[in-house]
């Protein structure tokens, strides 16, 4: 069965510092991987996705993630944190990427950014 583990329910960084949010997954087949961001009282917004091809994917707001099959990881990074990045981040996996396949989500990581 698929599962997603996000290491660290809460990450705190200073403005301008590197952001690293960790995600490990388990899947019996090559997965489709996603990062979503959720701002307070809002729905989830897709940050980036990996389907096939290049393992380093770039998303919105300067975020990127690298799919590492050998490590079953899909960590999210941003070189320089901004106050507006404070939000909750969810990693998700889909086994097939086909319509009707529900996403399996991690429990989320809350990112705090201090000035």
Partner 1 sequence: GAGVSQSPSNKVTEKGKDVELRCDPISGHTALYWYRQRLGQGLEFLIYFQGNSAPDKSGLPSDRFSAERTGESVSTLTIQRTQQEDSAVYLCASSLNSYEQYFGPGTRLTVT
Q: What is the DSSP letter of 83?
A: G
Judged by CB, which is closer to partner 1: 15, or 27?
Answer: 27
Judged by CB, which is closer to partner 1: 58, or 79?
Answer: 58
CB of 96 to partner 1, least distance (A): 8
- The residues that touch partner 1, with contacts defined as CB under 8 A, are 4, 9, 32, 34, 36, 41-46, 49, 51, 90, 92, 94, 97-108
Q: Are 65 and 50 in contact (CB under 8 A)?
A: yes
Give me the sheet containing 64-68, strands edge to edge. Answer: 3-7, 19-26, 73-78, 64-68, 56-58
State how beta strands 44-50 and 19-26 pair. Answer: unpaired
CB of 17 to partner 1, least distance (A): 25
Judged by CB, which is closer to partner 1: 1, or 70?
Answer: 1
CB of 20 to partner 1, least distance (A): 19
């Amino acid at each position: 069965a698929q599962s997603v583990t996000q290491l660290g329910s809460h990450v705190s960084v200073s403005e301008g510092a590197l952001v690293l949010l960790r995600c490990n997954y388990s899947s019996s087949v090559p997965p489709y991987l996603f990062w979503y961001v959720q701002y307070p009282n809002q729905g989830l917004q897709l940050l980036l996705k990996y389907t096939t091809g290049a393992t380093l994917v770039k998303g919105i707001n300067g975020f990127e993630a690298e799919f590492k099959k050998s490590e079953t990881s899909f960590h999210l990074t941003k070189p320089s944190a901004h106050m507006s990045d404070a939000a909750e981040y969810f990693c998700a996996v889909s086994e097939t990427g086909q319509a009707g396949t529900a996403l399996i989500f991690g429990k989320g990581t809350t990112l705090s950014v201090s000035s």
